[in-house]
Amino acid sequence: MTATRLAERLAQLLPVLFGVSVIVFLMITLTPGDPVEIMLADQRATEEQAAALRRDLGLDRPLAERFLVFLGNALRGDFGVSFFHRRPVWDVIAERLPATVELTLVALIVAILVAIPLGVIAAVKRDRWIDRALSAASLFGVSLPGFWFGILLILLFAVEFRLLPVGGRIGFAFEVPRETGFLLIDTLLAGDARAFANAVAHLILPAVTLGLPTAALLARVVRSAMAEVLASDYVLFAEAKGLSRRRVLLRHALKNALIPAVTVTAIETGSLLGGNMIVETVFGWPGLGRLVVESIFARNYPLVQAAVLLYAVTYVLLNFAADLLYTVLNPKVRL
């Protein structure tokens, strides 16, 4: 990719990031209802206390000034103090972040491991039962409410068959020193194989709940890309050369069919972040999504605002990365 093209893309990225921060800023300001009133709804606060809170939140200053302060602080990673936790908002978020990232990554691996073989098989066996089953499954995948799917899995694997644990990231019996915050890594660093196995067992159901609907979508992308590639001249040529079916499929066809899959995967990772709030709530997973939902009920607005901004910026950057990857991987658009 040329430098000018990269610069062009960056120039498109910046206004979106700016716009996103404006909207997050306005969320608390322009929505009907006074945040201070909602925050103090449960307590018998005096007028002075309400005014003090309004001053603390900076709500008494002009809109433009408040936005500049908000933007400047956000750029420095300063999102104020979470009065619920009595600690900086960013510290609270950073503490919960590894749990969410770990869950998202494992869900992504589940999605990829399921989707790529299924998509390839469906493309090779076009219009056979497996192809039809895949289209039916992807229709189900988009029609299934995530929270309900999670509950069904709990009913089946935890309540009925008692195969897997539910709730939290690891059993209470285990104590793992926190190094990275990623339990799969921390348990290995501690050399505790049983704790590792327990952490994996806790991860399975949430990761499947989050990953399978994505897999359904991704498999469809792989299928259509693979079907297109299989019909192309160079695959025909490779077959005519007498290369084995396996070699043609894996070396020649799949490599190109994966280009759109990579893009969709990057975009879907962003959507997984949204799905996290649901899945973490269903499984009592102590990650960022759960923290946001708890903070809403604790009326902890600065934290909600910071988390929404973090989610959105990550989402925008992932889309940007998807765009770049597509350009880098696909020689046809590399102009």
Partner 1 sequence: MSAAASEDRPISPLRLGLVRFAANRTALGSALVILGFILVALAAPLIAPHHPAEADLFRRLQPPAWADGGEWSFPLGCDGLGRDILSRLIWGARVSLLVAAMVIAIAAAIGTMAGLAAGYLRGWTDTLISRLVDTLLGFPYLVFAIGLMAMMGPGLHNIVLALVYKEWVFTCRVVRGETLAAREQDYVEAARAIGCRPLRVMLREILPNVLSPVLVVATFRMAYVIIMEASLSFLGLGVQPPTPSWGSMVADGRDFLVDAWWVSTVPGLAILALVLSINLASQGLRDAFDPRLHAS
Asked if 154 touches partner 1 (CB under 8 A), the answer is yes
- For the bound state, the minimum distance from the C-beta of residue 164 to partner 1, rounded and expressed in Å, comes to 14
Asked if 15 touches partner 1 (CB under 8 A), the answer is yes
Residue pair 219/115 in contact by the 8 Å Cβ criterion: yes
- For the bound state, the minimum distance from the C-beta of residue 12 to partner 1, rounded and expressed in Å, comes to 8
Work out which of 1, 6, 10, 22 binds partner 1, going by CB under 8 A. 22
The amino acid that residue 255 corresponds to is K
The tokens 């716009």 sit on which residue? 19
- For the bound state, the minimum distance from the C-beta of residue 208 to partner 1, rounded and expressed in Å, comes to 17
Asked if 25 touches partner 1 (CB under 8 A), the answer is no
- CA distances for 204 relative to 154, 245, 307, angstroms: 11, 34, 25
Asked if 143 touches partner 1 (CB under 8 A), the answer is yes
Asked if 163 touches partner 1 (CB under 8 A), the answer is no
Asked if 316 touches partner 1 (CB under 8 A), the answer is yes
- The residues near 95 (Cβ < 8 Å, ≥ 6 apart) are 181
User: Please, which residues bridge with residue 88 across strands?
Assistant: 81
Asked if 278 touches partner 1 (CB under 8 A), the answer is yes
- The tally of CA atoms less than 13 A away on the side-chain side of residue 2 is 6
Please identify, among the stretches 12-20, 46-54, 67-75, 201-209, the one whose residues bind partner 1 according to the rule CB under 8 A.
12-20
Select from 206, 241, 169, 66 the least CA-distant residue to 178. 169
| H or E, element range at 154 | none
Select from 171, 178, 184 the least CA-distant residue to 94. 178
Asked if 304 touches partner 1 (CB under 8 A), the answer is yes
- The residues near 41 (Cβ < 8 Å, ≥ 6 apart) are 299
Nearer to partner 1, 13 or 235 (CB): 13
Binding interface with partner 1 (CB under 8 A): 12, 15-17, 19-20, 22-24, 27-28, 31-33, 35, 38, 139-140, 142-148, 151-152, 154-155, 159, 270-271, 273-275, 277-278, 281-282, 292-293, 295-297, 301, 304-305, 308, 311-312, 315-316, 319
